[in-house]
Amino acid sequence: MRFSLLILGAPYSSQSVATALRFAQAAVDAGHNVYRIFFYHDAVNNGNALITPPQDENNIPQQWQILANQHDIDLVVCIASALKRGVMDAKEADRYEKPSHNLSDSVTLSGLGQLVDASINSDRLITFGP
């Protein structure tokens, strides 16, 4: 089965993000394919490379990147939600004349079309809310 996930909660403000991460890991461990993870609303902070949790806590954004790299999963953050929350790649930082960028290298900044594509190319699109 091919899954895509829509995640809405911030990495440390919502249990749904950790639950989604465990679901994705369990899915690939069971032999399923995870096509895309789409981060929307506050979940775009999962793509923020500057998030630094205390050493005794799980680094959830980093765990998403590791999972994606190991299993060739597409990580996408919604561009509109990301820009509102100060998460941007180098191109957008230049475009808006910002002094720096903070989007993780393994995450893509894109629009809702990627969410539509995920729903078309997956057997199931599962939402993990705040």
Number of domains in the chain: 1
State the pLDDT at residue 65.
95
Three-class secondary structure of residue 60 per DSSP: helix
Three-class secondary structure of residue 33 per DSSP: strand
Which of these is catalytic: 78, 87, 107, 125? 78
Per-residue model confidence as pLDDT tens digits over 8-53: 999 999 899 999 999 999 999 999 999 999 999 999 999 999 999 9
Q: 61-69: long-range contacts (C-beta < 8 A, 24 or more apart)?
A: 61/11, 61/104, 63/21, 64/21, 64/37, 65/104, 65/106, 65/107, 67/21, 67/24, 67/25, 67/28, 68/37, 68/106, 69/106
| pTM of structure | 0.95
130 pLDDT higher than 90: no
Residue 118 annotated in active site: no
Of 46, 40, 39, 37, give the one whose Cα is nearest residue 12.
Answer: 46
Task: Find the domain containing 95 and state its range.
Answer: 2-128
State the pLDDT at residue 104.
95
Q: Return the CATH number at 91.
A: 3.40.1260.10
Per-residue model confidence as pLDDT tens digits over 80-109: 999 999 999 999 999 999 999 999 999 999
